[in-house]
Structure 1
């Protein structure tokens, strides 16, 4: 199985998420904070990307024979963590304001977990 389609999909998702973040920075109001704002959508998407990366990283760590899964986990985990850091840094308020700060924090955590699991699987594959 080639890694190129998944890598291209990961880069595309990252570019879409990064392009949506600056456009939504000035549009948060109190009335929007109860719905799905653009900031929340970006942060939630990054959190789900981090969750998928952590699952792939755990799968790669459990089965030491596939170095491709570890690279996928490291790459997608890094994208989730970077988008989470950008969302966390650009949030105007705390939790409940519609700025996606909770989703960004979850994306950072899951991205770092995915990177760690991918690195663990990569180290085991080289032994």
Structure 2
């Protein structure tokens, strides 16, 4: 039987890696929601101008997630934010892809007119 006190990090301990990974994941999630809303409502103001900020935020989330993942000292469960960094990378990639579709659609619509 394993003792719970032998874990490398407590569940409630906030390290710099966990804070950075959580912030990156939340920024990526906000970017993904913004890009998704811009895709489903192309005629709204968000649909016309929301692609570039969502793209920037998605790339920032991926960069911050990569920074936390490369600087983590231990593996998963050590309290360094590695799991959150992987989530931030995935959510940031999703946001970047959605935002790129919005930007591509916006530029194509500007060329037709």
TM-score by length of 1: 0.71
Higher radius of gyration, 1 or 2: 2
Structure 2: give runs of 5+ residues left out of the alignment.
1-5
Is it true that 1:64 corresponds to 2:58 in the alignment? Answer: no
Is it true that 1:84 corresponds to 2:65 in the alignment? Answer: yes
1:82 CA displacement: 0.2
Do the aligned partners of residues 37 and 31 (structure 1) sit closer, same or farther apart at CA in structure 2, a change above 3 Å counting? farther
How well do the aligned residues superpose, as a CA RMSD in angstroms? Answer: 1.6
Aligned residues: 98
Structure 1: give runs of 5+ residues left out of the alignment.
1-29
CA distance in structure 2 between the partners assigned to 1:76 and 1:32 by the alignment: 32
Instruction: Choose from 105, 108, 112 the match for 1:124.
Output: 105
* Moved >4 Å (runs of 4+): none
CA distance in structure 1 between the partners assigned to 2:63 and 2:55 by the alignment: 12
CA distance in structure 2 between the partners assigned to 1:53 and 1:32 by the alignment: 32
Question: 2:29 is matched with which residue?
Answer: 51
Question: 2:18 is matched with which residue?
Answer: 40
Query: In the TM superposition, what whole-angstrom CA distance separates every residue of 1:38-68 from its partner, at most 9, and x where no partner exists?
Result: 2101111111111111101111111223332
Question: 1:112 is matched with which residue?
Answer: 93
CA distance in structure 2 between the partners assigned to 1:75 and 1:67 by the alignment: 15
What are the equivalent positions in structure 2 for 1:6-21 lying under 5 Å apart?
none
